[in-house]
């Protein structure tokens, strides 16, 4: 401040001084703003990576869950179809087995399985064929029974179609499964 009288010069000095301070403030503000922008850019990238990672993980969980559900659904459908086939084959076996219950092989089987000393008994069967060939005295025709059932209390000798099929059911199922569904 050389002279107090020169107002223009004083104005110029003040402007220069404040202009320098303003430039420093602007520079500091710009540096601070740049630093904040960098920091937020880094945070934003980290957040984006986290969101992307979580999204990928969730998509993978949904994919796995969907695959498991579809696999279970397919397995259930396969089991349903397999059971339908099994029931069909077992029904065919049952129908063909009916004819065998009036054969000499069946009569031999029952004779070999029955005890020789039967005294007090009641025999049930679907036809008098059994009475004649098995020489059964107390025989009652019961059309609901295919084969022979002999009741000699406290023992029941049950050689009926249903009982014999039931006894072999699991073995037949295994065999049918092996033949129809085993992969080669």
Mention every residue, 6+ apart, whose C-beta is less than 8 A from residue 98.
146, 161
Confidence at residue 1, expressed as pLDDT on a 0 to 100 scale: 44
7 with 92, same domain?
Answer: yes
Mapped onto helix, strand or coil, the DSSP state of residue 28 is helix
Residue 30 has pLDDT above 50, yes or no: yes
94 with 113, same domain?
Answer: no
6 with 74, same domain?
Answer: yes
Confidence at residue 180, expressed as pLDDT on a 0 to 100 scale: 78
C-beta neighbour count of 105 within 10 angstroms: 9
Domain boundary among 40, 69, 100: 100
Structure tokens at 39: 């920091």
107 with 168, same domain?
Answer: yes
Can you give the C-alpha Rg of the chain in angstroms? 48
Flag whether the pTM goes above 0.75.
no
Structure tokens at 170: 């699991």
146 with 86, same domain?
Answer: no
Domain boundary among 100, 131, 149: 100
> Higher confidence at residue 175 or residue 45?
45
Mapped onto helix, strand or coil, the DSSP state of residue 63 is helix
95 with 107, same domain?
Answer: no
64 with 108, same domain?
Answer: no
- pLDDT tens for 70-110 read 999 999 998 898 889 888 888 888 888 888 888 889 899 98
29 with 112, same domain?
Answer: no
75 with 14, same domain?
Answer: yes
The structural domain count of the chain equals 2
Domain ranges, residue 52: 1-100
19 with 50, same domain?
Answer: yes
Confidence at residue 34, expressed as pLDDT on a 0 to 100 scale: 92
* pLDDT (average), residues 166-176: 86
Round to the nearest angstrom and report the end-to-end CA distance of the chain.
Answer: 107
159 with 176, same domain?
Answer: yes
Residue 3 has pLDDT above 60, yes or no: no
Order of strands across the sheet with 122-125?
139-141, 122-125, 147-152, 155-160
């Amino acid at each position: 401040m050389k002279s107090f009288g020169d107002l223009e010069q004083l104005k110029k000095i003040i402007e220069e001084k404040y202009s320098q301070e303003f430039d420093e403030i602007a520079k500091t503000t710009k540096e601070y703003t740049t630093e904040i922008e960098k920091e937020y850019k880094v945070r934003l990238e980290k957040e984006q990576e986290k969101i992307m990672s979580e999204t990928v993980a969730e998509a993978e969980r949904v994919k796995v869950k969907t695959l498991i559900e579809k696999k279970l659904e397919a397995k259930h459908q396969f089991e349903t179809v397999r059971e339908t086939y099994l029931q069909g084959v077992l029904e065919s076996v049952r129908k063909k087995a009916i004819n065998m219950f009036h054969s000499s092989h069946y009569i031999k089987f029952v004779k070999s399985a029955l005890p020789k000393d039967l005294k007090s008994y009641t025999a049930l069967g679907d036809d008098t064929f059994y009475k004649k060939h098995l020489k059964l005295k107390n025989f009652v025709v019961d059309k609901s029974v295919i084969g022979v059932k002999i009741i000699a209390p406290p023992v029941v000798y049950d050689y009926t179609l249903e009982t014999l099929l039931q006894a072999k059911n699991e073995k037949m199922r295994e065999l049918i499964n092996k033949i129809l569904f085993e992969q080669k």
